[in-house]
């Protein structure tokens, strides 16, 4: 995160916070009064020099949209939900971060590991490509066959999402 760069007034998107509070999980963003419980209880922040959930929340409140959405640290959250459970103001911190990730993803900013899982689900119904060998091994272990994953049916249900097309384009 480029915290050391001075903030220019032109960078501030004053409507950004309302964009977030309209989204599922982001509703309580404005309740945050920066106590820092989230950062001090965050297991990732303990080992990261840059990941600070409190800072992400504050930047979001301030409307530093581009900085937040382009920040690598957004993707470090382990989604353990400790911050959400302990926030004295009831902010769903981890969900605000997820909302921000979703918005970044819409702009095409997604680390490869997440992108791969999405395309794997669309192709096979599973987040990881399960090798044929594994399937055969199940038989020899006496395990029932795996659900087929049903990618056709999944894609049918997801067809209505404009998002899907966007993602496919990126994969090309």
Q: Where does this chain bind other proteins (CB under 8 A)?
A: 23-25, 43-44, 46-48, 75-82, 84-85, 92, 94, 98-99, 101-102, 105, 110-115, 117-118, 121, 125-128, 130, 134, 137-138, 141, 143-151, 153-154, 156-161, 163-164, 167
- Following CA atoms 163, 104, 100, 82 in sequence, which dihedral angle do they give, to the nearest 10 degrees? 100
Question: How far apart are CB 166 and other proteins at their closest, in Å?
Answer: 10
Token pair listed for 110: 């997604």
Please say which residue, 18 or 128, places its beta carbon nearer to other proteins. 128
Please say which residue, 61 or 117, places its beta carbon nearer to other proteins. 117
Please say which residue, 54 or 98, places its beta carbon nearer to other proteins. 98
Please say which residue, 14 or 157, places its beta carbon nearer to other proteins. 157
Question: How far apart are CB 134 and other proteins at their closest, in Å?
Answer: 7
The three-state (H, E, C) secondary structure of 39-54, written as one string: HHHCHHHHHCCCCCHH
Question: How far apart are CB 3 and other proteins at their closest, in Å?
Answer: 18
- Following CA atoms 29, 34, 40, 46 in sequence, which dihedral angle do they give, to the nearest 10 degrees? 80
The span from the CA of 31 to the CA of 56, in Å, is 14
From the list 71, 51, 63, the residue with the least C-alpha distance to 19 is 63
């Amino acid at each position: 995160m480029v915290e050391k760069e001075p903030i220019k007034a032109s960078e501030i998107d004053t409507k950004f916070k309302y964009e977030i509070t309209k989204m599922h999980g982001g509703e309580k963003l404005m309740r945050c009064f920066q106590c820092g419980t989230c950062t001090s209880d965050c297991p990732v922040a303990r080992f990261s020099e840059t990941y600070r959930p409190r800072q992400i929340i504050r930047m979001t409140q301030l409307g530093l949209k581009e900085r937040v959405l382009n920040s690598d640290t957004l993707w470090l959250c382990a989604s353990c939900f400790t911050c959400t459970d302990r926030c004295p103001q009831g902010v769903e911190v981890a969900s605000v971060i997820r909302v921000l990730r979703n918005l970044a993803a819409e702009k095409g900013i997604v680390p490869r590991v997440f992108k791969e899982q999405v395309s794997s689900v669309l192709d096979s119904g599973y987040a990881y490509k399960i090798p044929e060998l594994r399937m055969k091994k199940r038989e020899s272990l006496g395990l029932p066959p795996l659900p087929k994953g049903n990618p056709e049916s999944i894609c049918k249900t997801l067809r209505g999402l404009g998002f899907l097309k966007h993602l496919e384009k990126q994969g090309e």
